[in-house]
Chains A and B, each alone.
Chain A
Amino acid sequence: MEFKDYYKTLGVPRDATAEDIKKAFRRLARKYHPDVSKETDAEQRMKEINEANAVLSDPEKRAAYDQLGQGRGFQAGSDFQPPPGWDAGFEFSGQGFNGAQAADFSDFFSELFGRQTGSGTRHAHHRMRGEDHHAKIMLDLEDTYQGTSRSLTLRMPKLDSQGRTLLTEHTLNVRIPKGVHAGQVIRLAGQGGPGMAGEAAGDLFLEVQFNPHTRYRIEKKDIHAALPIAPWEAALGATVKIPVPDGWVEVRIPENSQSGRKLRLKGRGIPATPPGDLYLILEVVLPPATTQKAREFYQTMAQELAFNPRQHLGV
């Protein structure tokens, strides 16, 4: 397990005031907001920033963390095991940290603070439904056409026999509903946090996102793809066979089509209710003039066709 330097994560000195920490957190939270930031690792950075803030903004956790590092020379990334009794004399209220959030935090945090007398023991004797947990699931576009099963492994907080929170890996085999699309949320009943004193477990909510696709761009239920065609197919019209996410279709190219023309295949997008559409953007691809014969064809076209593509520019 690696030691985490929370001060370094927030970019503040070890003697920073609570106000300094709050300002640093807000500045970084804005910079790495996963919905806005263009940084490639924004989501991971935001988790680290949240974790550092959860410790440093809580006076009890910060004091214990400071004592842990004092004189032991731990550096960020160095191998770490908490010394026995490292937290003697501290009490953790559990504020700013709950089981559902725990899954996003590191093993380091879990080792130090997840085992404390947090929400688990405080409510161990009360009847209480388990917490709902939230996560994201990345699907391939093809998954939504077929409604396949996916295996996913999540870090889930569980209570041990003492009522302490421990992070464990939990593998679920989930049947993905056909027609689901990005931004929708699916619910797995009873797969959240455990209930107390015989109460039901919480549910797991998964926000659906799609992995980038090499051929398709996805916009809600609609999908978009480029369709390369030859100049004669564009000019004369043609019927071409192309692959789509759920098989093959034959598409009629209208005559006198140009690059950029958009064809709509109604109902061939994501099979939701109602289904989305599949848009094909025509892309006229010219044969290269690399042979004598090809050059002659182009020269014949130039001579025979009175064609000026820049006429609208007045030239």
Chain B
Amino acid sequence: MTHEIDAILIDDAMLSLDELARSCQVTREWVIERVQCGLLLNEESIHADPATWIFDSHCFIRVKRIIAVEKDFECNPELAGLVTDLIEEIEFLRTRLLAAQLNKD
């Protein structure tokens, strides 16, 4: 029997810039550029020291989506960000629809 492993919730511990970049196999500069484009974090973060940035689960999943869209369609970060925004909106609306039990079919 394997021993039990404790899982840490990212939203409790958060990820640093280096951890996020390493985990998603992109460079720090790649992440910094997307923050500066307004695709990650918030407006205030753009002017803050990147060493102080922290990333939650939502950012982590968002980065993975942006990477996939940029790679699959060879598009620029802004377009990948727009597609990711739309994917998140679809996800939100589908969840809403399910919660409202409107799509029983």
Question: Which A residues fall within an 8 A CB radius of B?
Answer: 25-26, 29-30, 33, 35-36, 98, 100, 129, 131-132, 134, 149, 151, 171-177, 180, 183-189, 191, 202-203, 205-207, 217-220, 222, 224, 226, 279, 281
B23 close to A184 (CB less than 8 A)? no
Kindly identify which residue among B11, B72, B87 contacts A184, using a CB–CB cutoff of 8 Å: B11
B13 close to A134 (CB less than 8 A)? no
Q: Chain A's nearest CB lies how many Å from the CB of B55?
A: 10
Per the bound structure, the CA–CA distance linking A26 and B99 in Å amounts to 33
Is B7 interfacial (CB-CB < 8 Å)? yes
Query: For A132, what are the chain B residues with a Cβ–Cβ distance below 8 Å?
Result: 22-23
B99 close to A219 (CB less than 8 A)? yes
A29 close to B72 (CB less than 8 A)? yes
Residue-wise interface mask of B (1-38) relative to A, using a CB-CB cutoff of 8 A (1 in contact, 0 not): 11111111111110000000011010000000000000
Q: Chain B's nearest CB lies how many Å from the CB of A298?
A: 28
Query: For B8, what are the chain A residues with a Cβ–Cβ distance below 8 Å?
Result: 177, 186-189
Is B90 interfacial (CB-CB < 8 Å)? yes
Q: Chain B's nearest CB lies how many Å from the CB of A285?
A: 15
Per the bound structure, the CA–CA distance linking A202 and B25 in Å amounts to 12
A-B contact pairs, 5 of them (CB 8 A): A26-B72, A36-B87, A134-B64, A186-B7, A226-B101
Per the bound structure, the CA–CA distance linking A178 and B103 in Å amounts to 30
B10 close to A184 (CB less than 8 A)? yes
- New A-B contacts (4) at CB < 8 Å, excluding given A184-B11, A188-B8, A219-B96: A180-B9, A183-B57, A185-B57, A206-B7
Query: For B87, what are the chain A residues with a Cβ–Cβ distance below 8 Å?
Result: 33, 35-36
B2 close to A173 (CB less than 8 A)? yes
A-B complex: 4 closest residue pairs judged by Cβ atoms = A186-B7, A132-B23, A185-B57, A217-B99
A203 close to B23 (CB less than 8 A)? yes
Interface residue ranges of B55-105 to A (CB < 8 Å): 57-58, 60-61, 64-65, 72-73, 87, 90-91, 95-96, 98-101
Per the bound structure, the CA–CA distance linking A56 and B3 in Å amounts to 41
Per the bound structure, the CA–CA distance linking A264 and B7 in Å amounts to 31
Q: Chain B's nearest CB lies how many Å from the CB of A272?
A: 9
Query: For B98, what are the chain A residues with a Cβ–Cβ distance below 8 Å?
Result: 217, 219
Q: Chain A's nearest CB lies how many Å from the CB of B68?
A: 9
Per the bound structure, the CA–CA distance linking A131 and B2 in Å amounts to 22
Given A29-B72, A134-B64, A217-B98: A172 and B11 interface contact (C-beta under 8 Å): no
Query: For A189, what are the chain B residues with a Cβ–Cβ distance below 8 Å?
Result: 8
Query: For B57, what are the chain A residues with a Cβ–Cβ distance below 8 Å?
Result: 183-185, 207
Cβ-closest chain A residue relative to B22: A132
Per the bound structure, the CA–CA distance linking A25 and B4 in Å amounts to 41
Query: For A279, what are the chain B residues with a Cβ–Cβ distance below 8 Å?
Result: 99
Among B10, B13, B99, max chain A CB count under 10 A is at B99
Cβ-closest chain B residue relative to A29: B72
Per the bound structure, the CA–CA distance linking A4 and B33 in Å amounts to 39
Query: For A100, what are the chain B residues with a Cβ–Cβ distance below 8 Å?
Result: 25
